[in-house]
Amino acid sequence: MGTPGSGRKRTPVKDRFSAEDEALSNIAREAEARLAAKRAARAEARDIRMRELERQQKEGVEDALSLRSLGSHRNPSKDITGTHWSRAGTPKRKDIMYDAVKDRSSRLSSLNHSYSHSYGMKKRSSGSHKDPLLDEKSDKQYAENYTRPSSRNSASATTPLSGNSSRRGSGDTSSLVDPDTSLSELRDIYDLKDQIQDVEGRYMQGLKELKESLSEVEEKYKKAMVSNAQLDNEKNNLIYQVDTLKDVIEEQEEQMAEFYRENEEKSKELERQKHMCSVLQHKMDELKEGLRQRDELIEKHGLVIIPDGTPNGDVSHEPVVGAITVVSQEAAQVLESAGEGPLDVRLRKLAGEKEELLSQIRRLKLQLEEERQKCSRSEGSAADVAGLHNGSDLQFIEMQRDANRQISDYKFKLSKAEQDITTLEQNISRLEGQVLRYKTAAENAEKVEDELKAEKRKLQRELRTALDKIEEMEMTNSHLAKRLEKMKANRTALLAQQ
């Protein structure tokens, strides 16, 4: 498992478990010390039993010798034949008995020494691997093997003593019993030899069994050591895997914390954008309300909105995006009479018509002046030819009246057209300023709205990505938690088996 460098640094297993190893080594040393103390106590008890057995054997030999010496001193007043047989047979019996007892004691002591030596060597070679059950078994076999010959020795020792007492009690017939007693003593000696050989055979058999059991125990100990080494290796591997998984979990937790922090930042940014969007929406509502009030005021005052690019001079009563103009009904009718095209074209047409009307008015004024001059010149001759020209004067007066009436009409139309033109120019300038302001505000609002929509889509994508990552990290975290629980369960099971 590869871990990135951003995780924590793992400590070595040797340093981490030094305290545990030290505690285990202390426990092992204490156990070995207790085992050594028990073995020393058993060895001391065996030595004490050996010394007690040797002391009992020596006491038995001394008692037998003292009783025989007393028996030889109690029978000096017998007859010559009896004394001869007794003197001839007593030293021989003493020598035979002393040799037999000495041989038996030397064999027992050599057997005890060899057993203690071989047991000590085997104890030193086996060391701390020997089972306490084997020590108890060897102690039982040793006690069984060496308590039986002691009882037999005591029986064999009492047998000559009983023979001696019977000989002392028989009196004159002692010379006849001595050969039988010597034969019985020889048989006892041979029986003792056979018993010693049996004891040696049983001892060798027990020693062989002990060696076999020791080899089996050593083999079991080796297998246990190998299994312990394997379990130790598996434990170290599991500990390393647990440490690696801990590092992975820590890195995942750090990434989760980073994701949570980024999510919080994005959420805060989203809240700010939502607040800005609500503010802009409120401003847009205010602008819409202003436009509605404007339309109501235009309709209330009887004005008409004329777009700058309306074809065929169509009049629209709805707000249109672009250059618009608000005019009165009369101005709208005048603009409609101007023909097709944009507003400035129609205004230029109206200006051209105005110029034509002004030129026509000036021309009419000139004609009027000319007519007046003609009239003034003709007034002088009118008196002369008053009677002649009565009919023509009436016609002239009628013509003058018609001209004056037309002039007054033209003047009225001209003044009215000038007023309409000034009003239209003022309305045009005012409405152009409003249109520019509204247009810039609408463009800014549209830009902000587009930016907010783009930012909203971006934040939604980032939010979906963050939610997907969070879900994936939660699944990974749950999977790692399950693996960690499984490894903990395996570790507890291994510790329970150990």
pLDDT in tens, 224-271: 888 888 898 899 999 999 998 989 898 888 888 888 888 888 888 888
Query: In this structure, are 148 and 69 located in the same domain?
Result: yes
Positive or negative, the CA dihedral 82, 84, 85, 91 is positive
Does 41 score more than 80 pLDDT? yes
Query: In this structure, are 198 and 322 located in the same domain?
Result: no
Region 137-165 average pLDDT: 42
Query: In this structure, are 348 and 221 located in the same domain?
Result: no
In a domain, 258, yes or no: no
User: How many structural domains are present in the chain?
Assistant: 2
Q: What angle do CA 405, 411, 417 make, to 5 degrees?
A: 135
pLDDT digits (tens, 9 = 90+) for 73-128: 444 444 444 444 333 344 444 444 445 445 555 555 554 444 444 444 444 444 44
In a domain, 278, yes or no: no
Query: In this structure, are 324 and 179 located in the same domain?
Result: no
Does 174 score more than 60 pLDDT? no
Region 318-340 average pLDDT: 60
Q: Of the candidates 180, 199, 231, which is a domain's last residue?
A: 231
Region 160-167 average pLDDT: 41
Domain that includes residue 73, residue range = 22-231
Higher pLDDT, 420 or 386: 420
Rounded to whole angstroms, the Cα distance separating 64 from 70 reads: 10
In a domain, 219, yes or no: yes
Q: Tell me the Ramachandran region of residue 171: left when phi exceeds 0, alpha when psi lies from -120 to 50, beta otherwise.
A: left
Query: In this structure, are 354 and 471 located in the same domain?
Result: yes
In a domain, 340, yes or no: yes
Q: What integer pLDDT is reported at residue 91 of this predicted model?
A: 44
Gyration radius (Cα) of the chain, Å: 73
Dihedral angle at the C-alpha atoms of 205, 210, 216, 222, nearest 10 degrees?
Answer: -150
Query: In this structure, are 114 and 221 located in the same domain?
Result: yes
Region 180-199 average pLDDT: 80
Higher pLDDT, 334 or 177: 334
Average pLDDT of every residue of the chain = 70
In a domain, 245, yes or no: no
Query: In this structure, are 312 and 437 located in the same domain?
Result: yes
Does 318 score more than 60 pLDDT? no
Closest C-alpha among 415, 422, 423 to residue 358: 415
In a domain, 74, yes or no: yes
In a domain, 3, yes or no: no
